[in-house]
Amino acid sequence: MSSIIIDRRRNSKGKSTVNRERFMRRYRQQIRKAVNDAVNNRSITDTDSGEEISISRKSLSEPFFHHGEGGDRDQTHPGNKEFVTGDRFPKPKGGGKGSGSGSGDASDGGEGVDDFVFQINRDEFLEYLFDDLALPNMVRKELKESNEFAFRRGGYTSAGAPDRLNVIRSLRGAHARRIALSGKDRKEIRALKRELREMEVSPDDTDHSRAEEIKLRIKELNEKIKRLPFIDDFDLKFNNLIKVPLPSSSAVMFCVMDVSGSMTRDIKDMAKRFFFLLYMFLQRNYKKVEIVFIRHHAEAKECDEHDFFYARETGGTVVSSALTLTDEIIKERYKPNEYNIYVAQASDGDNWEADSPKCSKVISENLMPFLSYYAYVEITDRHHQNLWHEYKKLEKEHPEYFAMAHIKGPADIFPVFRELFEKKEAAV
């Protein structure tokens, strides 16, 4: 006889979503470490795909209550057909430690537990990859075709949604209405009570019929006042919310990459990896960031994304050509009062010796007064080149706005990227 089970629970397909989120929060550090290790072993084309995460069984241990060592206790084992009280269990052969992740060698016995392996998707991978990263010194700029709005309090209205009801303002209005509508009657009541007290002071001259008439009138007026509603639709006041445009955090990032002959294929590949991480970070975390790609050897030119990463053009080395082009583009298209301006430069540091002081001068005099941040990455496994020593002076002059880092091999790319773009408070 076969049976059919029908699952009538609501939202049964997503019933494990909450548990998955709780699990990922608990093991955030292990997942983040696995993501950081994975990004260095990927090619440029699959950097933003998902990842298979493996967590050691030791990291999955949960606290539990159990009996401490020592003492006498009785245990009942179900299914026991062989042993009686007082018998001793034989020790398992092979030590019983198993052949899972707890043991690195093969064995012919025992049991173990494998590492826990699960898959994270592309969005989750990028979330852990760019966690706690931000463009440094990002500030709000002036209003310019802003698409960002915020709702702010703007007085009160007589109509609105129930959740916007202002209770205090409504009760205050109801109280004022009752005072206004009952003012004339209260005034009459006070006059009648005063007249009644005067009659009580001189009882011999009291007109009893008048006294009864006054009491009846006071009672009528009090009942009239009580009939006034405590609160009326007219009294209701609602918080008025007005739509206010927000200053936009528009930004532009200049990606400047050296493609001269001194840049070997491996160095260029590391530079491209660095810029691809930067490109993904900006695309994911910011809506209003423009990216300008500049390649340079002896000459510099602005290019699109495809040519920046895949073009094979090469030549001599004149770094100042790229910096001069950056300055020209800023003056032509990006006003500093409207944009946060950033520059990220990657090079092996090898430059025409007479050109390095010119680079320092262009950055110091033309660029730094308008930049929010300048990041320079030197990619070489040798000693630092002359460009590095020139830039060291700029780093000392502008410690909050100029940063430098050294990449020796692929394993340094992501740690350097995190170091350069870790979250910092905007400088005042």
Q: Mean pLDDT across the stretch 364-388?
A: 90
Domain co-membership, 231 together with 289: no
Chain centre to alpha carbon of residue 228: 53
Inside any domain, residue 174: yes
Instruction: Give the residue numbers spanning the domain of 38.
Output: 19-58+116-129
pLDDT exceeds cutoff 70 at 235: yes
Amino acid making up residue 265: R
Same domain, 344 and 200: no
Answer with the one of 177, 205, 240 that is the final residue of a domain: 240
State the DSSP H helix or E strand holding residue 270, giving kind and residue range, or none if neither.
helix 265-285
225 and 272 belong to one structural domain:
no
- Per-residue pLDDT at 64 exceeds 70: no
Q: Are residues 255 and 402 in the same domain?
A: yes
Which residues, in sequence order, are bridge partners of residue 245?
Answer: 149
pTM of this prediction?
0.58
Return the amino acid letter for 130. Answer: F
How far is it, in rounded angstroms, from Cα 351 to Cα 358?
Answer: 11
What percentage of the chain exceeds 90 in pLDDT? 23
Q: Is residue 348 part of a domain?
A: yes
Residue 276 shares a structural domain with residue 222: no
pLDDT, residue 233, reads 85
257/232 same-domain check? no
Of 129, 150, 170, which residue sits at a domain end?
Answer: 129
What pLDDT shows up at residue 103? 45
In a domain, 172, yes or no: yes
Are residues 339 and 232 located together in one domain of the fold? Answer: no
Q: Specify the CATH number for the domain of residue 306.
A: 3.40.50.410
Question: Is residue 141 in a domain?
Answer: no
Contact 391, 382 (CB under 8 A): no
- pLDDT score at 51: 58
Task: Tell me, rounded to whole angstroms, the distance of Cα 261 from its chain centroid.
Answer: 41
The pairing of beta strand 149-157 with beta strand 116-120: unpaired
Select from 240, 275, 308 the last residue of a domain: 240
* C-alpha to C-alpha distance for 101 and 124, rounded to whole angstroms: 26
Domain-embedded: residue 369 = yes
Listed in sequence order, the DSSP H helices in 202-335 are: 208-226, 265-285, 305-310, 320-333
Q: What is the pLDDT of residues 328-366, one digit of tens each?
A: 999 999 988 888 999 999 999 888 888 999 999 999 999
Whether 182 is covered by a domain: the verdict is: yes
- pLDDT for the residue 427: 46
Q: Domain check: are 177 and 290 in the same one?
A: no
255 and 232 part of one domain: no
**Does 261 fall in a domain?**
yes
Q: How is the chain split among helix, strand and coil, in percent rounded to 5? A: 45, 15, 40
422 pLDDT tier (thresholds 50, 70, 90):
confident
Rounded to whole angstroms, how far apart are CA atoms 166 and 240? 10
Residue 309 lies in a domain: yes
Domain total for the chain?
Answer: 3
